[in-house]
Amino acid sequence: MNEFELIARLTAGLARGKGVIVGVGDDCAVLDMGAPDHWQLFKTDAVVEGVHFTTDTPRAKVGRKALARCLSDIAAMGGTPTYALVTLVLPRGFDPAEVETIYSGLRTLAAQHEVSIVGGETTAGTGGLLISISLLGWVPKGMALLRSSARAGDAIFVSGELGGSLAGRHLDFEPRLAEAQWLNRHFDVHAMIDLSDGLAGDLRHVLKASGVGAELLGQMVPVSRAAKLRARAESAAKPPLLAALTDGEDFELLFTVAPGDAVAVKDAWASRFPELKLTCVGRIVAQPGLKIVTEHGVRELTEHGYTHFQ
């Protein structure tokens, strides 16, 4: 049983309460708190030493990453972040000066996005450093961009370049808040998610939530320079396309729009965000499953089928 199956099992029995627009299963919970014109977004995310960063990772970058991951989830709903609480679980013998360094990274990023840190707690733990961020945000009423709204025929777009994030990008990526808000304001975006588990994994979340399938065009997938460099440098490394599909922690946006909107989105993006690539990587189809078209033909991209590429 993997994490997703576990969470599905745990949350199956949770009653959906009053005001819950979206509970478990999207990037954030979406709540109708009675405000006349907006819904609230609510998200929590933890980074753990030895899993999301190492003992050598500069502490300011750890603090930054913890908040940035949560901001990326607010972006994935087309929303705007507002208030954060910070939970620090410190290893034994942790130096208070390092705590201040963690906070400095957090505060700088919070200030950039006008997020107020309104509290939290610091507690002693028995393992490595852990930072959990709890974040609120909002989205105009009726405008939350969900995973469950992809439709057959939609064009699938991704921002930026994918793969190889571990080389450094996972510590200093920019959450795509401005881009997602702009998309939400100007276009009829169907489904959106941020790429934390890798293009293949996250697209699969969208497909499952929407009850559809997809076909990716292998040669359109934007592969990062880091993934290409690693494939060249290490014979044991993943081929670049596989890295772009499965490395994870890209924190770029994946979204779908009706095919008739694809050109307008692409053109408007290029003029609004000239320095950030936007690529159409495939299309949504009615038949469930995830296929990829490469020079070797069409293949099913199953959850455990990545070895086909190696």
Question: In the bound complex, what is the minimum distance in angstroms from residue 35's beta carbon to a second copy?
Answer: 5
Q: Which is nearer to a second copy, 45 or 174 (CB)?
A: 45
Applying CB under 8 A, which residues contact a second copy? 1, 3, 6-7, 9-11, 13-20, 23-25, 28-29, 31, 33-36, 38, 40, 42-46, 48-51, 82-83, 85, 87, 89, 91, 96, 99-100, 103, 107, 111, 114-128, 130, 132, 134, 136, 138
Closer of 45 and 154 to a second copy (Cβ)? 45
Cβ at position 81, least distance to a second copy in Å: 11
Q: Which is nearer to a second copy, 82 or 294 (CB)?
A: 82
Residue with tokens 């189809």: 285
Q: How far apart are CA 1 and CA 253, in angstroms?
A: 28
Helices (H) and strands (E) in the chain, counts: 9, 13
Which residues lie closer than 8 Å to 93 by C-beta, 6 or more apart?
Answer: none
Measure the CA–CA gap between 104 and 101, rounded to whole angstroms: 5
Q: How many CA atoms lie within 13 A of 238 on its CB side?
A: 21
Residue (of 267, 88, 90) closest to 186 by Cα position: 267
- Bridge pairing between strands 297-300 and 130-140: unpaired
Nearer CB in complex with a second copy: 49/215 = 49
Q: Is the Cβ of residue 124 or residue 270 nearer to a second copy in the bound state?
A: 124
Q: How far is the CB of 217 from a second copy (least distance, A)?
A: 32
The nearest distance, CB 248 to a second copy, in angstroms, is: 14
CA dist 300 and 204 (Å) reads: 12
Residue 141 Cβ vs a second copy, minimum distance, rounded to whole Å:
12
